Chain A
Amino acid sequence: MIPSDHFVRFYNEIFKYLRKQGPEAVAEYYRTISRHQETHCLKLFTEKGIPGMKEYWDSIEREENCDSETLEYSEDVYRSCMNRCPSLSKVLDNDAGASEIYCRHCPGWVLPLFSKCGFYCVYDLVGLDIPRCEQAVFRNLDDARAYRERVLRRHPGHPELVECNF
């Protein structure tokens, strides 16, 4: 049995395998994960909006032992920072080595879910081998667009470190 504590290292092996199969195999897996995650959070996000999102991520922070903080929180905006991601940290502390695309699984499943709820999200991946990131969720598309421009300016020449659902 793979203990739940070690899921992420098994997950990492899946991404290594799928990367060899091609980008569509990875993309379809993100969509599959997203559909599974809907069972945990779609109803909450749809019914409660940003407060529901904070409720969900507060419980994840506790259960997954995250070192994260809320940067901005209102009915229209929710920005948070993962100071030390336990998921990528485990994958980096791993005799099998990390998949180069491991980090992308978070925006991979989160962005379609936000789209279904009618919210706009900007992900700053910071660095694919650095266990830090920032997630920003907006009710208003113009606010999200303006924020994305700010984040892109943090990564000149590396737009691939910024993902969004618009």
Chain B
Amino acid sequence: MKPEEMRYCSTGEVHLDFHGSTYVGLKYLLDHFGMEAVDEVLTATGQKVYKSIHERLKNGDTSELLCFWRYYLEREKCDFTLTENPDGTAVLELRECPALRQLAKEKIDDRPLICHATEKLNEAWCGGSPFEIAVEALPRGCRQTLRRKTVAK
């Protein structure tokens, strides 16, 4: 898929301060309404805002998610490698997470909440689809493996 075919294709300058604003929002929800609230908002984001990515994944199509990862990580000048397989699965090795990088500049140290948001968003995207995304922490980022769910026999 080409970036301009994605449902949302942003162009122009990037305002990296928004990662701090994302954190403030997550933290506000957590502190005032608990993790259920965080998860409810992230699920709505994953399945309603990103309806196009979610519906494609449910139909076995990972093309928009992979394009999304590559396009936005390049826009944010991240150190990453995205290995795409012919069957639609992939491995994203994100050696420096742009969110963690920005939060470090703002002297915010709360990796668990930021990483939980990524995992919950991934879970929302993959809900009802043949796919799952396994996340492994790396020193300044993570490895996300987009793979087919194994069916219990």
A95 touching B49 in the complex, CB below 8 Å, given contacts A1-B118, A65-B12: yes
Evaluate contact between B75 and A95: CB separation under 8 angstroms.
Answer: no
Task: List CB contacts (< 8 Å) of B8-64 with chain A.
Answer: 8, 10-22, 24-25, 28-29, 32-33, 37, 40-41, 44-45, 48-52
Q: How far is the CA of A127 from the CA of B29 in the complex (A)?
A: 28
Q: What residues of chain A lie closer than 8 Å to B11, measured between beta carbons?
A: 65
Q: How far is the CA of A17 from the CA of B117 in the complex (A)?
A: 16
Evaluate contact between A33 and B76: CB separation under 8 angstroms.
Answer: no
For residue A28, CB closer than 8 A to chain B, the reply is yes
Which of chain A's residues has its CB closest to B43's CB? A13
A95 touching B48 in the complex, CB below 8 Å, given contacts A3-B72, A29-B28: yes
For residue A54, CB closer than 8 A to chain B, the reply is no
Q: What residues of chain A lie closer than 8 Å to B17, measured between beta carbons?
A: 4, 40, 63
Task: List CB contacts (< 8 Å) of A97-129 with chain B.
Answer: 97
Q: What 0/1 readout, one digit per residue, does chain A (29-59) give for beta carbons within 8 Å of chain B?
A: 1001100100110000000000000000000
For residue B98, CB closer than 8 A to chain A, the reply is yes
For residue B126, CB closer than 8 A to chain A, the reply is no
Evaluate contact between B45 and A4: CB separation under 8 angstroms.
Answer: no
Task: List CB contacts (< 8 Å) of B82-109 with chain A.
Answer: 97-99, 102, 106
Q: How far is the CA of A95 from the CA of B48 in the complex (A)?
A: 6
* B-to-A contact residues, CB < 8 Å: 7-8, 10-22, 24-25, 28-29, 32-33, 37, 40-41, 44-45, 48-52, 72, 75-76, 97-99, 102, 106, 117-118, 121
